[in-house]
Structure 1
Amino acid sequence: MRALTVDLARAGSLSLTELPDPVPGPDELLVEGLAIGICGTDREIVRGEFGTGGTLVIGHESLGRVISGPGFEPGSLVAGVVRRPDPVPCVACARGEFDMCRNGQYTERGITGLDGYASTLWTVPAAYAVGVSSATGVLVEPASVVVKAWERLDQLALFPFESVLVTGAGPIGLLAALIGVQRGLDVHVFDLAESGPKPDLVESLGATYHRKLPDHPVVIEATGAPSLVAQLLGRDLVCLTGVPSTEVVPVDLGQANRDLVLRNGIVFGTVNSNVRHYREASAVLDRADDAWLSAMITRRVPLESCVEAFEQRPGDVKVVLEL
């Protein structure tokens, strides 16, 4: 099989490699790899900024077609769950909430300790595979992250809300807005892009696009920009999904503390997802307009041109590498 590998000890080591075909175990699916989505974590791995030592098959946003295995018909489209629980396990992993692992000994396909899905064949335990209905199922992993964000918002909200602000119109922000619209909320999206696909994607979704930060009490933050996060600390309920850069931003923590206390505010972070989030994410994508989801994928790159998939270009929203 062909696979996309990196040497985690060496920056710029992305390589298209021939590897032995995988042999599935009795509880595993054998899957033909069709595509992977590219995100910021993948680019960090390729640049040598994430992970240590060893060779890794990358790719965690997966789409494949079942060849054989239990629980799925041959030809079915599936996505593979990324994280696996730690072997100890911690209190969260022991309860099946491995996305909330407390001791950090989890592994992740294509990220930490386990080969990923960027190969023309891969195997996955059937319990960690989720059915999808179309080629836009490659978006199920980022959608699962947002499903979890909404789940936690529901758990923590102190009041019913009819409106939500999403900051950032990248894939996570757009999928967060999609779920808000599906819930019947008044959705507002803040981003700095003046042109390109982002404003059109927001408006065609039925949400409102802003280039000036609106004042909304409930926020899903999807940029990871420290300067923006600092402006949101006084809101009523803020979900942080973006991984920040190393930008240093002065923040009046005393004022932020005062605002949070006096408003009974909540700021929380969320990352990763587990099997139930993937299943709900698949349902979210099924309810969405497939043409809108397809428009989110602004570049499709063939495997032979794999290096181009990891370049960030103006106008990119989601880049997909076709296997």
Structure 2
Amino acid sequence: MRAVTVTPGVPHSLKLTDEWPEPAAEEGAILVEALAVGICGTDQEIISGAYGEAPPGQERLVLGHESLGRVREDPTGTFRPGDLVAGIVRHPDPVPCANCAVGEWDMCRNGQYTEHGIKALPGFARDRWRVQPKFAVGLDPALAPVGMLLEPTSVVAKAWDHIERIGTRAEWQPQSVLVTGAGPIGLLAALLATQRGLSVHVLDRNTTGPKPDLVRSLGATYHTSTVGELDFQPDVVVECTGAPSVVLDTMCKVGPTGVVCLTGVSSGGRTIDFDAGALNRSLVLENTVVFGSVNANRRHWDLAAQALARADLSWLESLITRRVPVAEYADAYTATGDDIKVVLDFQQ
């Protein structure tokens, strides 16, 4: 069968093979036919050789962690043939740590977790894959065109879950949220914010292309200014750029008792002059919380599936700016400045 693979640590070793072995039975009882995989910055970094880990005893890693497929067979009876499913990316560590032991593997403390298409587990960019029932998430059949968005949606579902948990430390009635960055994570974070009835503001550098209209069609406000130039103090910030200056600006801008959730990952290597003392004073005196969030556990994947089912399907489809056949895989993994979400289509 076909599979898109890399040799981890070897830059630009991406290739499509037609002779990849069928998924091993120990991967899971449920056999799934791939429909599509979404492509994101993590895939680009693995292709560049920055990180990635093949399964034990193997040289190559199958890419793909934003999955979508149809069940072909499930002897456990959890799903029926034809059901739409996605595979959860992260699996708990084998020790397990305290968090993995209770299903909170997104909060793994020892780093021995595994991840499909990233770390020691084969990914979903292959014609067929297997999954254990507890790592398979069912999707509404109507989401067949966009179900590969479930993984990035699970990331922001976790972010909102933790934002709201932090908010319960006191009487908390948030009114406004600022999302910085209008990539897939930022747009999905804005979607979940609108579903919560908040006044949503999205800040991004793009003045053309689909992003401004996508934000406005949510009923949100689109900004291209700097964070500091905004004329309001948000109760919540979801930071999705990882740009150091933006990260610092959001900490300074959030309102009293506000919550700043960092989902973007900075590349490092840059220094910025800023008044750390003033920032510390503001964070302490205004009871501000700043925290980082990454990955998701089963609860968040289920919440994400519910959020997508409530969303406008045409809006979700607009996030997908390119659908590329598997035979043209190299084009799919070549980033362009106009893309929001690129999908590798296994059915073309």
Tell me if both proteins adopt one fold, taking TM over 0.5 as the criterion: yes
Tell me whether 1:240 sits opposite 2:253 in the alignment.
no
Supply the distance in 2 between the matched residues of 1:23 and 1:266 (Cα, whole angstroms): 45
Does structure 1 retain, via aligned residues, the 8 Å contact 2:9–2:46? no
Residues 232, 43 of structure 1: CA spacing in aligned structure 2 closer, same or farther, 3 A cutoff?
same
- Residue 127 of structure 2 is aligned with which of 99, 120, 134? 120
Output one character per residue of 1:267-319: Cα deviation in whole Å (capped at 9) or x when no partner.
Answer: 00000001111111011000001100000001111111111111221221111
Supply the distance in 1 between the matched residues of 2:327 and 2:24 (Cα, whole angstroms): 25
Deviation at 1:262?
1.0
- Residue 203 of structure 2 is aligned with which of 183, 190, 194? 190
Residues 311, 80 of structure 1: CA spacing in aligned structure 2 closer, same or farther, 3 A cutoff?
same
Give the aligned partner of residue 139 of structure 1.
149
- Residue 218 of structure 1 is aligned with which of 228, 236, 239? 236
Deviation at 1:246?
2.4
Tell me whether 1:28 sits opposite 2:29 in the alignment.
yes
- Residue 76 of structure 1 is aligned with which of 76, 79, 83? 83
Q: Secondary structure at the match of 2:177?
A: strand
Deviation at 1:28?
1.7
User: Which stretch shifts more, 229-238 or 175-184?
Assistant: 229-238
- Residue 72 of structure 2 is aligned with which of 59, 67, 71? 67
Supply the distance in 1 between the matched residues of 2:345 and 2:276 (Cα, whole angstroms): 46
Amino acid in structure 2 at the alignment position of 1:287: R
Supply the distance in 2 between the matched residues of 1:278 and 1:318 (Cα, whole angstroms): 19
Does structure 2 retain, via aligned residues, the 8 Å contact 1:227–1:249? no
User: Which stretch shifts more, 51-60 or 7-16?
Assistant: 51-60
Give the aligned partner of residue 336 of structure 2.
313
Supply the distance in 1 between the matched residues of 2:260 and 2:300 (Cα, whole angstroms): 20
Supply the distance in 1 between the matched residues of 2:14 and 2:28 (Cα, whole angstroms): 31
Matches within 5 A, 1:43-122: 43-51=44-52, 54-69=59-74, 70=76, 71-122=78-129
Residues 310, 258 of structure 1: CA spacing in aligned structure 2 closer, same or farther, 3 A cutoff?
same
Give the aligned partner of residue 149 of structure 1.
159
Does structure 1 retain, via aligned residues, the 8 Å contact 2:53–2:120? no
Matches within 5 A, 1:262-301: 262-301=285-324
Give the aligned partner of residue 14 of structure 1.
14
Supply the distance in 2 between the matched residues of 1:63 and 1:202 (Cα, whole angstroms): 25
Supply the distance in 2 between the matched residues of 1:270 and 1:246 (Cα, whole angstroms): 18
Supply the distance in 1 between the matched residues of 2:116 and 2:216 (Cα, whole angstroms): 35
Output one character per residue of 1:167-217: Cα deviation in whole Å (capped at 9) or x when no partner.
Answer: 111100100100111111111100010000100100011111011133423
**Percent identity at matched positions?**
54
Q: Secondary structure at the match of 2:99?
A: helix
Q: Secondary structure at the match of 2:85?
A: strand
TM-score, normalised with respect to structure 1: 0.97
Q: Secondary structure at the match of 1:91?
A: coil
Does structure 2 retain, via aligned residues, the 8 Å contact 1:226–1:247? no
What are structure 2's unaligned runs of at least 5 residues? none
Does structure 1 retain, via aligned residues, the 8 Å contact 2:157–2:303? yes
TM-score, normalised with respect to structure 2: 0.90
Deviation at 1:252?
2.6
What are structure 1's unaligned runs of at least 5 residues? none
Supply the distance in 2 between the matched residues of 1:50 and 1:36 (Cα, whole angstroms): 20
Q: Secondary structure at the match of 2:314?
A: helix
Deviation at 1:24?
3.2
Does structure 2 retain, via aligned residues, the 8 Å contact 1:165–1:219? yes
Give the aligned partner of residue 231 of structure 1.
249
Deviation at 1:26?
9.8
Tell me whether 1:258 sits opposite 2:281 in the alignment.
yes
Q: Secondary structure at the match of 2:43?
A: helix
Deviation at 1:92?
0.6
Supply the distance in 1 between the matched residues of 2:237 and 2:149 (Cα, whole angstroms): 22
Supply the distance in 2 between the matched residues of 1:12 and 1:314 (Cα, whole angstroms): 20
Output one character per residue of 1:205-254: Cα deviation in whole Å (capped at 9) or x when no partner.
Answer: 11110111334231000111111001122323100001112251323322
Supply the distance in 2 between the matched residues of 1:123 and 1:201 (Cα, whole angstroms): 35
Amino acid in structure 2 at the alignment position of 1:60: H
Amino acid in structure 2 at the alignment position of 1:239: C
